[in-house]
Structure 1
Amino acid sequence: MLGSMEQTLLGGRYQVVRRLGSGGFSRTFLVSDLHLPNHPRCVIKQLKVQDKDTGTLDMARRLFDTEARVLYQLGNHPQIPALLAHFEEDQEFYLAQEYIEGSRLNRQVEEGKPWSETRVVLLLQEVLEILSFVHRQQVIHRDIKPSNLIRRHRDGKLVLIDFGAVKQVTSSPLLDAETGATNITVAIGTHGYMPNEQYAGKPRFSSDVYAVGMLGIRALTGLHPQKIDEDPVTSELAWRHHAPETSSALTAVLDKMVRYDFRDRYPTAQEALEALQNLPNPLHGLVGTQIYQTWMRGSQGRGPTFPGDDYDSTLGPTETSEPTAFADDQDSTSLFPVDLAYSNGSTSGALPLVVPDVLEEEFKLPVRLGSLLAVGLLSTFGFGLVIWRSGLTIAFEPSNQTVTIPFQRAGTPSLATDLSMLLPPEEKATYLSRQGDRLWDQGSYPDALDIYNEAVEVQIDYAPAYLGRCKTLISLKRPVEAIAACDDALAYSTYYPEAVRSKGNAEEQQGHLLAALELYESANRLMPAMAEAWLDRGRVLQKLGRSAEALAAIDQAIARDRESAEAWTVRGEAALALKRYDHAIIALEKALQIDPDYGPAQDLRQRARRLLGR
């Protein structure tokens, strides 16, 4: 069967290279896209339909289209594989997704090899940051586990794959492959990472939080979750004695993440992330001395080793997976914290570049800069170099060092400008755009505009720089130029709902309300989870005097973000126009609870009270 598929172009464009995996509901292939220059590789997931009668196919088709739109939306995140295409062929359904080259995390979370608390905290924070985005899009992943996290080769970032949303398409309305029974509500997940409500087919956002907590406990204890017992009285996990050195603060956070009753957990990934970020001294006094180290190639493809590690890996129980993106493990890339160590003064032997998350995030420093920086910087200092700038640390350590002595903070000149000059165009454009974003957040609009313009000069097709330019020009009350910038962003990224929404902001600023409304409606269709576009739509509808429609749009915005004072204020204004005075007062009171100094809400509340004679 595979041989015949290799001779066939899927969707008329994808040439099968090899099969990557298969499961009860899908098969996954590595393919080449023959319609694009250089035939780049991507992943095709073929979704199986067990029963191909007309009713089942129609239902599967509707669900498939819905879930493909969700995945398209999620792929906007840089640490989630992008959905490139979805199509139906010969009554089979196919998803084409970005191919992630990297190493699965289960190659690092090894049986019998506990991680340090610092490593665990940093891992959990990175996973929860991605998951927070997923939850904001109203999506539950349902299968968080080490094999569904890939450490990407090109930048060392974690990538979250294999979304439960895809599995809803293949399982819910169809036949169970083993029993033949129809599954209306199906438990999807992996044993050990799946809480009780998910077993019952009723997953919640906190079900994902549970899985991430189990990931942390597995890393801390070195034990697969299925080997951790439950308390016979409370049904809570009895894991603490397997990691007795864990701080009480982290233990409390993990315990809350994995509570048996979902109502006792953090409700979403964002709350769990905030709890981790608020840990008292979460890195145990090693902030600035615990950093991320990137290896482009690990020993025998295994990734980095740490003092005391051996080369023999014993993995835990097999975790089956149906990947939507697949990582080859031949060349392992890892990004983990290590203690900085003084060098013995020798420059012989391997000197891996040590780069912290702050640097990797802010400057996008590629690992290939290591040798260049080593030559210039080590010759100046003669020992392991430390550069500290607002939490930024760069250091080298000898590969045979066994005793670690933390460096202390050192005051040295900024290297930001020099580093940006060394970056290749696409990474420099990213670096500049993020600098522009920070300036825009601070209200430094002229400076932000200069930075975005520089990013465009560096890489003319970098859509985020054009979007930044558009938003900044709106803030500077230059809507005509802003529209041109948003059009440029859309020319280089055809799926860019944020740019559609910003173009609507520019049209609204000019008083072109109908044109703005059309753009906001388009943004809603492209990204239904974007609360800001629903708020924009409701605000314009209210300006047009269409209060009932405005109320409906604002309710959509509030359902996605209940902490927007502007949304509650517009709701109050619409209710007031519809003479629903009590509803207006309630909405305006809510707006002022969120922001007591929000002027429009204060003014409208006074007006509503006058109308009610209060």
Structure 2
Amino acid sequence: MEQTLLGGRYQVVRRLGSGGFSRTFLVTDIHLPNHPRCVIKQLKVQDKDTGTLDMARRLFDTEARVLYQLGNHPQIPSLMAHFEEDQEFYLAQEYIEGSRLNRQVEEGKPWSETRVVLLLQEVLEILSFVHRQQVIHRDIKPSNLIRRHRDGKLVLIDFGAVKQVTSSPLLDAETGATNITVAIGTHGYMPNEQYAGKPRFSSDVYAVGILGIRALTGMHPQRLEEDPVTSEIDWRQHAPTVSSSLAAVLDTMVRYDFRDRYPTAQEALEALQNLPNPLHGLVGTQIYQTWMKGANGRGPTFPDDDSNTAVGPTETSEPTAFADDQDSTSLFPVDLAYSNGKGAASQPIAAVEANVSDFQPLPHRRSLVVGSVLGALAIGLVLWRSGLTIALELNGGGVAIPFQAAAVPTLTTDLGLLLPPEEKATFLTRQGDRLLNQGRYPDALATYNEAVEIQPEYAAAYLGRCKTLIALKRPIEAIAACDDALAYSTYYPEAVRSKGNAEEQQGKLLAALALYESTNRLMPAMFEAWLDRGRVLQKLGRSAEALAAVDQAIARNRESAEAWTVRGEATWTLRRYDQTIIALEKALQLNPNYGPAKELRQQARQTLGR
């Protein structure tokens, strides 16, 4: 099989893994320029009778439909192709290069509370989008979450176990057959209703809560006991220092009865965001703070510091749509060992906290770690509430002072100074993204430049620099920055599209069009590239093609006033005036102040007398 082309276009590079129901392969697409990599998932059909093939076809059609629907989210792999060949079924999907979360959630090495909250928040943000599409994932667990190398964001994978929520009756009206879903998921992360084949949105919430408890306790969920009376999970004894507010949220997420849980991921996310910790919304998902050195070279010892744990070595996945084992299921991960330049893997930094109620002086030591001390400096209380640990020591007069007598860093801007180079570059790039979104272009550019100085091969920082230079109307420099991003990341559709934006800004419309078309091939789910393509085609006077492209954009995102306006422009040129009015009314419904739509509607009314 490895010597043939799958689907007539995919050349197998190597097998990534296999499970009870599927195999996955890393492949190259020989029909596209530069032969980009993607992943092929093959359903293994052992019995080729008609009934089995029909069931396999239904499962894969469902997964393909859901993946196409969900692929618009930047943290869900996009679907490239879906095909059947010789009674075998294949999905071609975006290749995610990164590190599986189960390589970081290790047995016996609990995470700090801040780190757990940041993880839960990011997972729930992705899952909220999934639930809004009326989809239940059913297999949330560490091995189905990848920390993407390119930008440090989590990616949710393996939608082979998905269930779409429908209003279909329990019994088929014609056949009388029972429409009951089989139990699919992974032991330890499945609530009781999912075992019974009746998953709900809150079943996913349960799995995310279990993920948080696993990280917080350092224990696999199958090792956690249940209360013999209530059947609730008895986990708090394994995390004695957890704050009561976070514990209450986790307890609600993993209630035995689904009616007592948060009904969807959005409600769980809101509860998490309401925790008394303002740092959660300010710092990116990989920012784990600690002060590593104290006065005179002494540093505090942290009970939950897992800094001796290296990022896992390169590893392939164990994919299958149905998981019975502890944590073996995933679809596309390739774990990367981040080098420290000396051939060894770098070490992740753990967040460190201390609760006021748990504070006790350590015997035989002059230095101590404390979250807040009644009567201490006001800044201590602010930092404690934010989740940042403060390192103090006693001076000659018995007064507690900060280690090194250093100025306390500003939480939202200087926290990255506490990180090692690899994570500092990620922190700075995320900070640059925020500044760019706020329209603070010179500050954003300076931040991206600093990230590049720290990590010269970090593609995400070059992309941020490219976007900022476009915003500053410096397209030639922007193209150079996008080329740098592409030099360090061979598959980077966002950089291809941004380079097209820079070419368009220079008036080089044909060059921009070629780049947008390339982006469409590389990532068909990217709404923005289809819109860019339609806009440029309309500028070139190719309105019929522009209409086709912008319809692709609208199919992926119906909430864009610009997309509806471009559709209005194309249909106006094609003299489809009724469609023009409808498109412009939709654009102004979405954004009543959108200038291009207002101007075109006024022109249409004057011309048509409406």
TM category (shorter chain) comes to 0.5 to 0.7
Q: Could you tell me how far apart the structure 2 residues matched to 1:226 and 1:341 are?
A: 26
**Residues 1:46 and 1:548: Cα distance change in structure 2 (over 3 Å):** closer
Give the drift of 1:439: 2.0
Q: Which residue of 2 aligns with 1:547?
A: 543
1:610 aligned onto 2:606: yes
CA contact (8 A) 2:22 2:41 kept: yes
Aligned to 2:464: 468
Separation (CA, whole Å) in 2 of partners of 1:299 and 1:455: 25
Does the 8 Å CA contact 1:474/1:506 hold for their aligned counterparts?
Answer: yes
Partner of 1:504: 500
Opposite residue 603 of structure 1, the aligned amino acid is E
**Distance between the aligned counterparts of 1:559 and 1:354, measured in 2?**
53
Q: 1:164 — aligned with what?
A: 159
User: Cα deviations across residues 216-265 of structure 1 (Å, max 9, x unaligned)?
Assistant: 48989x9999999xxxxxxxxx999x99x999x97999799x989xxx96
Cα deviation 1:517-553 (Å, max 9, x = unaligned)? 1111111221222211111111112212222322222
Shift of 1:96: 9.5
CA drift at 1:470: 1.0
Partners of 1:326 and 1:465 in 2: CA distance: 22
Partner of 1:100: 100
User: How many angstroms does 1:489 deviate by?
Assistant: 0.8
- Secondary structure at the counterpart of residue 138 of structure 2: coil
The TM-score normalised by the length of structure 1 is 0.56
In structure 1, the residue matched to 2:509 is: 513
Compute the displacement of 1:579 (Å): 2.4
Match of 1:322 in 2: 329
- Distance, in Å, in 2 between the alignment partners of 1:254 and 1:504 is 44
User: Of 527, 532, 539, which aligns to 2:528?
Assistant: 532
* Equivalent residue number for residue 449 of structure 2: 453
Q: Does 1:489 align with 2:485?
A: yes
Q: CA deviation at 1:158?
A: 9.7
Post-superposition Cα deviations, 1:77-99, rounded to whole Å, max 9, x if no partner, equal 78999x9xxxx9xx999999655
Q: CA, structure 1 residues 534+121, in 2 after alignment: closer, same or farther (shift >3 Å)?
A: same
Is residue 151–residue 333 contact of structure 1 (8 Å, CA) maintained in 2?
Answer: no
More relative contact order, 1 or 2 (CA 8 Å, 6+ apart): 2
**Counterpart residue type for residue 204 of structure 2:** A
Instruction: Name the amino acid aligned to 1:600.
Output: P
Whether contact under 8 Å (1:470, 1:482) holds in the other structure is yes
CA distance in 2, matches of 1:392, 1:98: 28
- Is 1:570 the counterpart of 2:566? The answer is yes
Segments of 5+ residues of structure 1 without an aligned counterpart are 1-10, 32-43, 111-116, 169-184, 229-237, 302-316, 356-377, 399-411
Distance in 1, matches of 2:608 and 2:588, equals 19
CA spacing shift, 1:572–1:226, aligned 2, 3 Å:
farther
Which residue does the alignment assign to 2:355? 339
User: What is the SS of the residue equivalent to 2:383?
Assistant: strand
- In the alignment, does 2:374 pair up with 1:414? no
Contact 1:140 1:164 in 2 (8 A): no
Q: Which runs of 5+ in 2 are unaligned?
A: 1-10, 27-38, 164-180, 237-243, 291-303, 311-323, 336-346, 394-406
Letter in structure 1 aligned against 2:449: N
Q: Structure 1 residues 563, 300: closer, same or farther in 2, change over 3 A?
A: closer
Query: Please, which of 585, 596, 608 is the counterpart of residue 589 of structure 1?
Result: 585
Deviations 1:85-134 (A, max 9, x none): xxx9xx99999965537568696999xxxxxx999976643321243577
Distance 1:14 1:548, change over 3 A: closer
- Aligned partners of 2:603 and 2:254: how far apart in 1? 49
The structural deviation recorded for 1:438 is 2.1
Contact 1:147 1:321 survives alignment (8 Å): no
Alignment-mate amino acid for residue 449 of structure 1: L
Name the CA distance, whole Å, in 1 between partners of 2:270 and 2:521: 34
Structure 1 pair 123–575 and aligned structure 2 pair: CA distance change class (3 A): same
Which of 204, 214, 221 is the equivalent residue of 1:211? 204
**Deviations 1:469-494, CA, capped at 9 Å, x for gaps:** 11111111111121111111111111
Alignment map for 1:33-72 (pairs within 5 Å) = 49-51=44-46
Distance in structure 1 (CA, Å) of the matches to 2:22 and 2:510: 45
Aligned CA-pair RMSD: 6.4
Go from structure 1 to structure 2 and tell me whether the alpha carbon gap of 1:48 and 1:532 turns closer, same or farther (over 3 Å shift). closer
Change (3 A) 1:525 1:588: same
Q: Given residue 531 of structure 1, which amino acid in structure 2 is its aligned partner?
A: F
Equivalent-residue separation in structure 1 for 2:444 and 2:535 (angstroms):
27
User: Which one-letter code corresponds to 2:560 in the other structure?
Assistant: S
Whole-angstrom distance in 2 between the partners of 1:289 and 1:598: 34
Among candidates 431, 434, 451, match of residue 435 of structure 1:
431
Q: In the superposition, relative to structure 1, how do residues 506 and 323 fare at CA in structure 2: closer, same or farther (>3 Å)?
A: closer
Asked whether the 8 Å contact 1:120–1:216 carries over to 2, the reply is no
Q: Is the 8 A contact 2:138 2:184 kept in 1?
A: yes
Letter matched to residue 144 of structure 1: D
Between the aligned partners of 2:40 and 2:541, the Cα distance in structure 1 is: 47
CA distance 1:546–1:350, shift in 2 (3 Å):
farther
2:496 and 2:450 map into 1 onto residues whose CA distance is: 23
CA separation of 1:487 and 1:273: change in aligned 2, threshold 3 A: farther
Partner of 1:314: none
Tell me the amino acid that sits aligned with residue 211 of structure 1: D
SS in structure 1 opposite 2:537? helix
Residue identity in the other structure for 1:212: V
- Return the alpha-carbon distance in structure 2 between the equivalents of residues 572 and 142 of structure 1: 37
1:374 aligns with: none
Counterpart for residue 173 of structure 2: none
Deviations for 1:279-323, whole angstroms, at most 9, x for unmatched residues?
Answer: xxx22x56579998993449999xxxxxxxxxxxxxxx9757534
**Residues 293, 144 of structure 1: alpha-carbon distance in 2 compared, 3 angstrom cutoff:** farther
Aligned partners of 1:449 and 1:473 also within 8 Å:
yes
Show the counterpart of 1:40. Answer: none
Deviates more, 1:492-501 or 1:535-544: 535-544
AA aligned opposite 2:329 = E
Q: Secondary structure at the match of 2:541?
A: coil
The answer as to whether partners of 1:384 and 1:397 remain within 8 angstroms in 2 is no
Give the match's secondary structure for 2:553. helix
Contact 2:352-2:388 within 8 A present in 1 as well: no
Q: Report sequence identity in percent.
A: 46
Query: Do the aligned partners of 2:21 and 2:43 also contact (CA within 8 Å) in 1?
Result: yes
Q: Give the structure-2-normalised TM-score.
A: 0.56
